[in-house]
Amino acid sequence: MPPPPSSEIISRGLTGCCPKCGTRGLFRHWFRLHESCNKCGLSLGKEDGFYLGTTSIGYVLAIIVVLIPVCFLVVTDVIGVWLGVSIGIFGSLVLVAAIYPAMLCALITVYYLFRPQELVDSQNDSSD
């Protein structure tokens, strides 16, 4: 059985569904995926890179969306330094926490978009 087409992998991944079978419910909780898909058994927990990549993207987004604008406001004397520091710390944490599942979905999508052969049942590709 061939892997799903790229458009299917993208639409499933970006909506939080299993990229292999399309089942919803990949998340154990807000910050963690299940070890595997409940329906098809696609392994999700083995890829620690999903979490490392999410953290890296979170840092970059926090710099672009929160820290640079706050620095601009502090430099132009719109807000004080300590208010800027407080907003920078709190805003970065809230931003990363709020979008964490979306970043995980995006990383899963990109991962399986470039490795669709991993979505094929292991019984069928015994040549590897």
Residues near Zn ion (CB under 5 A) are 18, 20-21, 23, 37, 39-40, 42
Closer to Zn ion by CB, 21 or 89: give it. Answer: 21
With H, G, I as helix, E, B as strand and everything else as coil, classify residue 78: coil
In the complex, the smallest distance separating the C-beta of residue 49 from Zn ion, rounded to whole angstroms, is: 19
Q: What share of the chain is helix, strand, coil (3-state, %, to 5)?
A: 60, 5, 35
Report the residue number, 24 or 59, with the smaller CB distance to Zn ion: 24
Complex with Zn ion: residue 21 or 113, whichever CB lies closer: 21
Cite the beta strand spans of the chain per DSSP E. 27-29, 32-33
Backbone angles phi, psi at 80, to 5 degrees: -75, 165
Q: How far is the CB of 114 from Zn ion (least distance, A)?
A: 18
